[in-house]
Amino acid sequence: MRGPEFDLSQPLGGPRWGEGRRDSRSSRIVGEGFLGATTPGDAAATEIGRIVDRFLTAVRDSLGQVVEALPVDAEVMGPVREAARNVDAMLATGDVSALSGLVETINGVGELIATRLTGGYEVDEFGFDEHFHEHVWLPLWRPLFEHWFRVEVIGAENVPAEGAGLIVSNHAGVLPLDAMMTTVAVHDHSGRALRLLAADLAMTLPVSAPLARRAGATLACAADAERLLESGHVVAVWPEGYKGLGKPFSDRYRLQRFGRGGFVSTALDAGAPIIPCSVVGSEEIYPKIGEFSPLARLLGVPYLPITPTFPMLGPLGGIPLPTKWTIEFGEPIETSHLGPDAGDDPMIVFEITDQVRETIQNTLFRNLARRGSVFFG
């Protein structure tokens, strides 16, 4: 059955979370350069070549899964099969010149997925399509997770096997790939579908909004988050927002403000545990060295980044660097014993907010300290 119609740009209930004025304690990272303790030479270049080969193979296999999962006619599935043929050609010849054509094909696949035609899937009140999530969305991101970023997951047992949980994570990398990798990590290592609390922009653009809804996202507001938690879902939020996502490379792994702790109030109201999540590796995929502020304002986007590869390399500048990632889920911070009225106590909210922030920051420092190289871990 298809789900109800709704305005994708609006929350299902309640106002959006506001930005806070309270500054959290700043952190400082020292000592690690872009390549960490290792400077890649010929051996490193060879290893990166292997990473690219494994990634392309995984893309080909995932596209095959998408073809099998979508019961649509051959004409509609043309872009997917063309993408698979392009990847096969690159693997056979070693010629990566077809990457520019592959980018166009992948855009066609995105349009295909946004308008897919099936009659056997269900959509919940938030627009979540579990069939799409399982058989289309995750297979598209899994090659990046397993073969490009080679994500190491720590503490997956801290994600509740059943019932509600609120995952709170650091946010970085210019594009929200950390949200996609966290989604794959939670599903593949904990068996849960992660429901994302997304920013306004993602929920208003004509292509990203329906995709985000079908993949499990909803607008970041307290009412929607509380309803999801009370229904027993695992929900994820990134309190730094665009301040973290678009921060310059010089500020990498320094957490930005967490606002006034709206996510803590929501967890307290729902009696759900808070799971701190720390992501290492996302900061270096697009090293932001500047931005086109006037053009960003003209386009109505938070920032338009300048990186070592973008805009110099054009569309190819959108390919993330193959950094080695670590995603660690910390021990849950229980809230049920505090009672629902605790969400109205600013002291409790601020205390838990600082606890979550400090846990994430300390875990980031610890995992950075044990990392030998950005690209090889």
- Domains assigned to the chain: 47-122 (no CATH), 150-285+320-370 (3.40.1130.10)
**Cα end-to-end distance, the chain, whole Å:** 46
Do the beta carbons of residue 18 and residue 239 sit within 8 Å?
no
Strand partners for 153: 327
Give the DSSP letter string of 251-293.
GTT-----TT-HHHHHHHHHT--EEEEEEESGGGSS---EE-H
The pLDDT value given to residue 91: 65
318-338: per-residue pLDDT in tens?
999 999 999 999 999 999 999
Point out the least confidently predicted range of 92-96, 225-229, 247-251, 370-374: 92-96
Residues 6+ apart with CB under 8 A from 185: 145, 151, 153, 156, 327
The pLDDT value given to residue 100: 57
**Dihedral sign computed on CA atoms, order 80, 122, 199, 342:** negative
CA distance linking residue 226 with residue 171, whole number of Å: 21
CA distance linking residue 246 with residue 244, whole number of Å: 6
User: What integer best gives the mean pLDDT of the chain?
Assistant: 81
* Percent of the chain whose predicted confidence (pLDDT) is above 70: 72
Q: Which helix (H) or strand (E) holds 211?
A: helix 208-215
Q: Which helix (H) or strand (E) holds 305?
A: strand 305-306
Give the DSSP letter string of 49-108.
HHHHHHHHHHHHHHHHHHHHH----TTTTHHHHHHHHHHHHHHHH--GGGHHHHHHHHHH
**In terms of C-beta density within 10 A (0-12 exposed, 13-18 middle, 19 or more buried), how is residue 278 classed?**
buried
Q: Do you know the residue count of the chain? A: 377
Do the beta carbons of residue 332 and residue 265 sit within 8 Å?
no
Q: Which CA distances in Å does 101 have to 87, 203, 233, 296, 334?
A: 10, 28, 39, 27, 50
Q: Quick one: pLDDT band at residue 59, thresholds 50, 70, 90?
A: confident
Per the model's pLDDT, the better-predicted residue between 119 and 356 turns out to be 356
pTM for this entry: 0.74
The answer, yes or no, to whether residue 310 has pLDDT greater than 70, is yes
CA distance linking residue 100 with residue 120, whole number of Å: 35
The answer, yes or no, to whether residue 205 has pLDDT greater than 50, is yes
Q: Which residue has the tokens 């998408």?
A: 66
**Dihedral sign computed on CA atoms, order 168, 281, 109, 201:** positive
pLDDT, mean of residues 354-368: 97
The answer, yes or no, to whether residue 4 has pLDDT greater than 80, is no
Q: Which residue has the tokens 């920051």?
A: 361
Q: Which CA distances in Å does 251 have to 243, 256, 283, 287?
A: 11, 9, 9, 10
Strand partners for 234: 165, 194
22-40: per-residue pLDDT in tens?
443 333 333 333 334 344 4
Within 13 Å, how many C-alpha atoms sit on residue 92's CB side? 7
- Residue 362 C-alpha from the chain's centroid: 21
The pLDDT value given to residue 37: 39
220-254: per-residue pLDDT in tens?
888 999 999 999 999 999 999 888 999 999 999 99
CA distance linking residue 321 with residue 318, whole number of Å: 9
